[in-house]
Amino acid sequence: MATFTLHVNGNQKTVDVSPDTPLLWVLRDTLQLTGTKFGCGAGLCGACGVHVDGALTRSCTMQVSQAAGKNIKTIEGLGANGLHPLQQAWIAEDVPQCGYCQSGQIMAAASLLAKTPHPSDDEITEYMSGNICRCGTYDRIRRAIRRASNAGGAK
């Protein structure tokens, strides 16, 4: 066990866990931020996506020791004041079905729009293909990203 200080959604948190614990499980079990999901445990599906110092990161394959001292943003902290434009767009398009992958989808989309505020359809597809949705919400995810983008949305 060891102590690590994390900056999660603007709050400083100190956790006492094994250094090899994936950030995912620290967020979920220790900090009770369960919006970040466990899907594959191997960096393949994107359900665990968070932002670490602004970069889209698979929290299931990042050890907590690597995340220490960095700024971590999860779905719970995505909207600084209320909902992020992407979350609003997700609601407007009624994207989720089971919803389990959607935190990761939204975090990925937020990362895309932060870099590319007005992505082309191909850019959306390329960037979002790191994530898996078994319910098949891809069409509506595309629509929601376009909607947020058209609304001026990366902020």
Partner 1 sequence: MSSLSRRAFLGTSAAAGAGVAIGFYLPSRAHAEAEVAFSPNAYLTITPDGKITIVVARSEMGQGVWTSLPMILAEELEADWKQITIEQAGASTLFGDQGTGGSASVRTTWDPMRKAGAQAREMLISAAAQEWSVAPASCKAASSFVMHSTSSRKLSYGALATKAGKLPVPDNPPLKHGAYKIVGRPIPRLDTPSKVNGSAIYGMDFRVPGMQYAALARCESIGGKVAGFDATAAQQVPGVSLVGKISDSAVAVVADSTWNAIKARRALKITWDEGPNKNLSSTAILDSLQNADDRKAVKFFTVGDVSKVSGRKIEASYQLPFMAHAPMEPGNTTAHFRGTECEIWSPTQVPQDCRDNVAQVLGLKPEKVKVNITLLGGGFGRRLEYDYAVEAALVSKAIHAPVKVVWTREDDMRCSTYRPLSLHKLSATLDEDGWPLAITHRIITPSINGQKGSQLTNGADPDLADQGPLIYLVPNLSLESIITETPVPLGWMRSVYALQTGFASESFLDELAAAARKDPLEYRLHLLAKDEEVKCGGSTWSTARMRGVLQLAAEKAGWSKPLPAGRYRGIACFGSFNSYAAEVVEISMEKGEPRVQRVVSALDCGTVVNPNILEQQIQGGVIYALTNALRAQITIDKGRVVQGNFDDYQPIRMNEAPVVEAYFVPSTEPPTGAGEPPVPPLAPALCNAIYSASKKRIRALPILS
Judged by CB under 8 A, does residue 98 bind partner 1?
A: yes
Footprint (CB under 8 A) of partner 1, residues 36-65:
36-42, 44-45, 47
Phi, psi (degrees; rounded to nearest 5) at 13? -130, 135
CB of 25 to partner 1, least distance (A): 4
Judged by CB under 8 A, does residue 119 bind partner 1?
A: no
- In this structure, which amino acid lies at residue 32? Q
> For the purposes of burial, counting CB atoms within 10 Å of the CB of 65, is it exposed (0-12), middle (13-18) or buried (19 or more)?
middle
Judged by CB under 8 A, does residue 116 bind partner 1?
A: no
Among 94, 118, 151, 152, binds partner 1 (CB under 8 A): 94
Helix (H, G, I), strand (E, B) or coil at 115: helix
For the residues of 4-50, what is the DSSP string, one character each? Answer: EEEEETTEEEEEEE-TT-BHHHIIIIIS--TTS--S-SSSSS-TTEE
Judged by CB under 8 A, does residue 136 bind partner 1?
A: yes
> What is d(CA 20, CA 33) in angstroms, rounded to the nearest whole number?
19
Interface region with partner 1, contact rule CB under 8 A, candidates 51-59, 65-73, 112-120, 140-148? 140-148
Binding site for partner 1 (CB under 8 A): 1, 17-18, 20-22, 25, 28-30, 32-42, 44-45, 47, 74-76, 78-79, 83, 87, 90-91, 94-103, 106, 124-126, 128-142
